[in-house]
Amino acid sequence: MSVNNNNNNNAESAPVSAKTKKRALSDKPAKLLPERNVRTVFGSNPDQFLLNAVKEACYGAFSLPTFDQALQRIKSHFYDRDYDAVFQNPEHLPVYSARYAPSRALCYYHMFLEHPTLLKPLEGGPSTILCIGAGAGSELMGIAAAMVHVAPLTVTTSSTSSTAKTKKSACTGKQEEVSHSKGAHSSSAHASETTEAITDTFKQTESGNTGGMTAVDLATDPAPPPPPPAAAPSRSAAEDMESTADSSTSAPITSVPVSGDDTASNQGRSKVNVNKSTDIDSSLAASVEQQLDLTIPCDTAIAVAPEKKSKVKKPKKHQVKLVIQDYVDWSGILEPMQKVVRDRMNLPKDRLKVETEVNNILDLDPSVLARVAEADLVTFLFVLNELFQDKKRTMLLVAKVVAAMRPGAQLLVADSAGSFSNLKVGERTYMVYMLLDHLKDLEIVYKDDATWYRCPPNATYPLKLENMRHFVRIYKKI
């Protein structure tokens, strides 16, 4: 891994209200697993493992006879910034994912590992991560790989009984029953309310002293090498996943990828009813209930010993819910990626639950805003620049999303640090992050105006890997 950070600025955390502290995730750093535990999944080279996992999930795309032609069309549409032509053609989707997902998945994987505040939601608790424009699967693969490093939270439950009791029965020859009862506990999920849009959010920047900007030329992506022969990917253990592809297909390039990547049912908390014979959620330890049916002789005292206090730790179900939003249906790509995540990264559904939301984010569908309201982390990774092609609707979207976020929730934004992030407001040109930095309801947790993610020089993949120059912002709703 090679990440060069320039002009890093870590903002101090502003005081958080008592209400925010109650609703936000704990500030305690996420607990990481020992390196030996991670090696049992990744082997000795996590980056190559992740690339091999993406290659396995995209095997069907590499087998397409029209792969080269489709990829050239995609690059041409990107050059023209015609994103609908890229993503509304179903033939393009698997090719796009095979081409752009691996480099971005590596970038997101290391981005999460470098920032403890991003690792915290990966513990669960439970927690929800909403990824906007993430249909191509880069967020799924990168975040899932980061989860392998994080120890899942566990819940401790205890059960105790009353002190010892002595009961002397009457000399009636009858039987008596002594029983112990247990208490029932239930939890209820709180609902987050969506506030009104902040329609004048961006007006303040026009009067600010931010200065003008000139466009930076962005290198176009060279033509890719021919696709590899259709060979069945390895389905062995972690050591097999480390095996590298032909080195002749692995030459990394340094051009910045065109910013066009990843554009494209609420889960309530469980309640337990001990009076019903249904399955009990595994997050609660089963209490012991005994019923003693004893024949008691005349004048015989019965001493009932107290039950021992017990503590049981069990992982919570659906600890992390990853919601992938996009405006086209990427299920043909996401389903094989989920299978690889389950099989290769040992992340079953009770550890990572994946849901999809298919709609145009600019339509401000109530279901999307409801997803925002329940999320602990919302991501816009290499998608915001594309959305700003419709500047007015995207400004309203950003205001609505920020208003809907609950206090303490985080917003992660990353995109090209070049001219594709330029935005003209009035007579001035700004970088997109300048406008976000002026939103009054967001506290800047971390910012970097330009950083490089450089793919490992020895990593191999059937196509050339992209080095990525991008900006990063992590915000917290206050």
Q: What are the tens digits of pLDDT across the range 241-290?
A: 444 434 334 444 333 333 334 433 334 333 333 343 344 344 433 443 34
Determine the residue type at 345: M
DSSP letters for 279-314:
PPPTTSPPPP--EEEE---TT-EEEEPPPPPEEEEE
Report if residue 332 sits inside a domain.
yes
pLDDT at 419: 77
pLDDT at 308: 56
Report if residue 192 sits inside a domain.
no
153: pLDDT confidence band, cut at 50, 70 and 90?
A: confident
Determine the residue type at 179: S
Cis omega (within 30 of 0) for bond into 29 = no
Token pair belonging to 67? 């792969």
- Top-confidence residue, 219 or 316: 316
pLDDT at 169: 43
pLDDT at 425: 80
The whole-angstrom separation of Cα 167 and Cα 319 is 46
Please state the rounded mean pLDDT for residues 425-450. 92
Report if residue 85 sits inside a domain.
yes
Report if residue 413 sits inside a domain.
yes
- Give percent of the chain above pLDDT 70: 60
Tell me the chain's radius of gyration from C-alpha atoms: 27
Please state the rounded mean pLDDT for residues 329-335. 96
Domain that holds residue 261: 2-154+198-225+235-266+317-477
- Top-confidence residue, 183 or 404: 404
pLDDT in tens, 194-221: 334 344 444 444 444 444 343 333 333 4
Q: How far is CA 4 from CA 46, 93, 279, 451, in A?
A: 19, 31, 51, 6
The whole-angstrom separation of Cα 451 and Cα 472 is 8
pLDDT in tens, 43-62: 999 999 999 999 999 999 99
Report if residue 60 sits inside a domain.
yes
Rounded mean pLDDT of the chain? 74
Report if residue 409 sits inside a domain.
yes
Please state the rounded mean pLDDT for residues 437-451. 96
Which of 435, 445, 438 has its CA nearest to residue 394? Answer: 435
pLDDT in tens, 80-126: 989 999 999 999 999 999 999 999 999 999 999 999 999 999 998 79
Q: Report the Cα 93 to chain-centroid distance in Å.
A: 21
Angle, alpha carbons 366-367-368 (nearest 5°): 90
pLDDT at 234: 42
pLDDT at 27: 66
pLDDT at 197: 39
Token pair belonging to 298? 């005349």
Instruction: Please state which of the ranges 40-44, 62-66, 162-166 shows the lowest mean pLDDT.
Output: 162-166
Instruction: Please state which of the ranges 136-140, 186-190, 214-218, 235-239 shows the lowest mean pLDDT.
Output: 214-218
Please state the rounded mean pLDDT for residues 296-305. 46
pLDDT at 369: 96
Report if residue 34 sits inside a domain.
yes
The whole-angstrom separation of Cα 344 and Cα 13 is 37
pLDDT at 307: 56
Instruction: Please state which of the ranges 31-40, 67-76, 246-255 shows the lowest mean pLDDT.
Output: 246-255
- Top-confidence residue, 279 or 431: 431
Judged against a pLDDT cut of 50, whether residue 388 lies above it is answered with yes
pLDDT at 20: 37
Report if residue 188 sits inside a domain.
no
Residue 66's CATH number: 3.40.50.150
- Give percent of the chain above pLDDT 90: 54
pLDDT at 476: 98
Total tally of structural domains belonging to the chain: 1
pLDDT at 443: 97
Tally of CB atoms within 10 A around 245: 18
Please state the rounded mean pLDDT for residues 165-172. 44
